[in-house]
Structure 1
């Protein structure tokens, strides 16, 4: 695979990974104050979205691969590493905050007594991941923009 192909795929997959998280963040202001029954109804729209988590995995892999193919140049390498680490950090946030909220609410079908705490945990973990994904996409793009083919100025 050529450097250009890896760069293209790293940017494209990183951008695609941002879409579902951006949707969560955009919905947050309208959802955060909903009463329990309405909130749980709205949460049902996310059934099946777990498959989109594969985009995060693909983004980690593509940005790590990008780091490997541009490793001969300091800035492109470290920017790609930073992007891959951002996507890895998202997994930590997901497993520490998002997944436990999903489990405690049986994927938003059961309301425990402290369901509002889980709502905040779920919503704001997604918000944090959206910001991290945006930063990762910026790192990926900057890596691509700062890479120079041998012999070019």
Structure 2
């Protein structure tokens, strides 16, 4: 159980990186013209999802679901793990609803074929990543709470 809590903490830290980076760069991405935005989407982000995003979110979901179902865990630990699992499930849902359709469309575009409504695609993509960033922070806080409270220390108190 201790190993799973440690692994959950490691995964939560990794899972927050990409969505937080997207959220922090959002104001600058809205200032890009169409051709540059398309180039960034098609080249800069290639490979991140399969290497970092999906594995951390899926592992976070699986590990926290296992921790939430563990009979030996205290109720507060199970609730923290359940909250984290829900946040990871939400991140995956947000990806499939917001980001995956945009990624599929953008992969086929060239600067010459960029549709006139490309800003709506950009907004959808950025909204998806901003939502994922919020959910990743929720997951991280829940995992941290579960990890710290399982070790017997909650906000300076000894349990």
Q: What does residue 144 of structure 1 align with? A: 147
CA distance in 2, matches of 1:32, 1:148: 43
**CA RMSD after TM alignment:** 2.0
The alignment covers a number of residue pairs equal to 149
CA distance in 2, matches of 1:126, 1:136: 15
**Which one is further off, 103-112 or 78-87?**
103-112
Residue 91 of structure 2 contacts residue 135 of structure 2 at CA under 8 Å; is this kept in 1? yes
Q: Give structure 2 stretches of 5+ with no counterpart.
A: 153-157
TM-score, normalised on structure 1?
0.88
Residue 14 of structure 2 contacts residue 56 of structure 2 at CA under 8 Å; is this kept in 1? yes
Residue 12 of structure 2 contacts residue 139 of structure 2 at CA under 8 Å; is this kept in 1? yes
**Residue in structure 2 matching 1:130, options 133, 137, 140:** 133
TM-score, normalised on structure 2?
0.85
CA distance in 2, matches of 1:148, 1:58: 22
* Shift of residue 42, structure 1, vs aligned partner: 1.9
Q: What does residue 32 of structure 1 align with? A: 30
Q: Give structure 1 stretches of 5+ with no counterpart.
A: none
Residue 61 of structure 2 contacts residue 89 of structure 2 at CA under 8 Å; is this kept in 1? yes
* Shift of residue 130, structure 1, vs aligned partner: 0.5
CA distance in 2, matches of 1:7, 1:91: 21
